[in-house]
Amino acid sequence: MTAKTKPRTKGDISKAQDLVMATVNLISLEEHLAFTAMKTGEQDFYEIARNVRKLRIRCLRELVGEPRGELWCASKHVLSAMMRLLEVASKEDGRKCGEYLEAAFDLYKLFWLFREAGYEIKTAKPKIKAK
């Protein structure tokens, strides 16, 4: 069986979900490179961060296209906040860990709502016809 015809098994995640996690990690990498540049004074880290940003933009564009309004930036920030909450959760135990994981998952769901809202405008038919 080829990868295209291979049936999905429980635990598989979709390409879009993989792309979300890649985008989240690219956002985090951009931040770390920027802070490294500031801490070391080495300008090369800014250039690396710019290249990472280009890749992050390509990934995010594949996920959300060119949505209306501020949904592009909102999508990026909701994914960034989700990643930070996952990081915080990894440093907590018990109930607090669970609360941060739940908040991160809520943001993850919000991203998918933003994505859907951005796509709706592309496929929506105008309600008022031009004369």
Write down the pTM of the prediction: 0.77
User: Under a CB-based contact definition with an 8 Å cutoff, are residues 108 and 82 in contact?
Assistant: yes
pLDDT digits (tens, 9 = 90+) for 44-88: 999 999 999 999 999 999 999 888 888 999 999 999 999 999 999
Domain parsing of the chain, residue ranges: 16-120
CA 36 to CA 96: how far, in whole Å? Answer: 30
